[in-house]
Amino acid sequence: MDWPSLRHGILIVEDGFKDAAGFADYMQERIFIQEAPESLNVEELRSNLDTEGCGAIVSFVGITRGIDAGEEVLRLEFDAWQERLSETLHSLAEGAIGKFKMHSVAMAHRTGSVGPGENIVAIHVASPHRKEAFEGCSWLIDELKRQAPLWKKEVKPSGASWKAGLG
């Protein structure tokens, strides 16, 4: 789909009603959100990026630490408001594409039990330029931690505790 112009990160279209539906389809093609209750294959997720016309791919992968504050971490347990999680991640991806002029975003976050060394979250962004890709990826993980309806319980030999944020 060929869009007339972008001004200050805002798409300028001739017929807002007709083009709004087309814009939703256009964004859907560039955003891939994956639910990951059992595992998170980072490379498979990355393969969903649309990289046409891009000169940069930047990725962030968060994993479970095996030690925290000098004590072994047995696992992390993530609980989510599942009905809102994909919607929130999609909204964040749309915001990042608009704000940082990125081309494509693929994101996933684990739920359930995640052991040491296992992938928790993955964000991949494709952009024509590296600066926007780095800035957009950094913004996405910060906003995900701030906005996503996720809760984390850290389980250690000494007991379990709920942690603020996704840290």
CATH number for the domain including 125?
3.90.1170.40
Q: Is the pTM of this model over 0.85?
A: no
- pLDDT at residue 20 greater than cutoff 90: no
% of residues, the chain, pLDDT over 70: 81
The total domain count for the chain is 1
Contact, 123 vs 137, CB < 8 A?
yes
**Residues 76-97, mean pLDDT to the nearest whole number:** 94
Distance of CA 49 to the CA centre of its chain: 12
* pLDDT, tens only, 51-69: 999 999 999 999 999 999 9
- Domain span at residue 28 reads 5-163
Q: How much of the chain exceeds pLDDT 90, in percent?
A: 77
Buried (b) or exposed (e) across 114-144, using 16+ Cβ within 10 A?
Answer: beeeebbbbbbbbbeeeebbbbbbbbbbebb
Is residue 70 helix, strand or coil? coil
Please report which helix (H) or strand (E) contains residue 124, including its range: strand 119-127
